[in-house]
Structure 1
Amino acid sequence: MGHSIPGWRRFPQLSRPRSVNSVHPYQINTDMIQNQATYDLFAGKSGASKEEFAASSQAAMALPIPWVEPSDITHAVLFLASDEAKYITGVPLPVDGGNSLI
């Protein structure tokens, strides 16, 4: 169909009822961000430390955290897949420490 997951919300003619949601994380505490290239990029200098990266990363968050933990993403996905979320559909759920607010 050529649409992203949020684009699926625009297709009410889907053959059977289904829940289509998406989780939108920001800076998950994994090797993908915990590396020297990322430290240097965010700190704006070569040889930056993890602490300098954390400080500059936290400045981009509405909450006082430098990044989101993998378990936070897991909890969001498990919630959306649970019976407690049975009436939630078409939702892009940011798990980003408030980064999307800034």
Structure 2
Amino acid sequence: MIQNPYVLGLFHPENPTPTRESAQDAFTRTHILPVPWMEPIDVSRSILYLVGESDRYITASTLTIDAGFIVKS
């Protein structure tokens, strides 16, 4: 999810100047895991797993990296 003032405002509408910190609790409530958002390193680690030897038999699968957002939605 792109984090900009508009999107942050959607999660924290009562704040005229929302910040990541002020919207953090609202973001966290959208996930099953207790994290507000994923960082680029979280996606990078998944990519490294997919290009490594340990996944050589994984085919035709979707790897969702969303801290449980889709399941909770």
1:13-52 equivalences in 2 (<5 Å): 27=1, 32-33=2-3, 35-45=4-14, 46-52=16-22
What 5-or-longer segments of structure 1 have no aligned partner?
1-26
What 5-or-longer segments of structure 2 have no aligned partner?
none
| Structure 1 residue matching 2:63: 3-state secondary structure | strand
Per mean C-alpha deviation after superposition, the further-off stretch among 77-86 and 37-46 is 37-46
Matching residue of 1:100? 70
- The RMSD of aligned alpha carbons is 1.4
| Structure 1 residue matching 2:46: 3-state secondary structure | helix
Matching residue of 1:57? 27
| Structure 2 residue matching 1:71: 3-state secondary structure | helix
Q: Report the count of equivalent residues.
A: 71
Please, what TM-score do these two structures have when normalized by structure 1?
0.63
Amino acid paired to 2:66: D
- Pair member with larger Rg: 1
Q: List structure 1 runs of 4+ shifted beyond 2 angstroms.
A: 44-52
| Structure 2 residue matching 1:94: 3-state secondary structure | coil
Amino acid paired to 2:6: A
* CA distance in 2: counterparts of 1:39 and 1:72, whole angstroms: 21
Looking at secondary structure, tell me which structure has more strand per residue. 1
Question: Which gives a bigger RCO, structure 1 or 2 (Cα 8 Å, sep 6+)?
Answer: 1
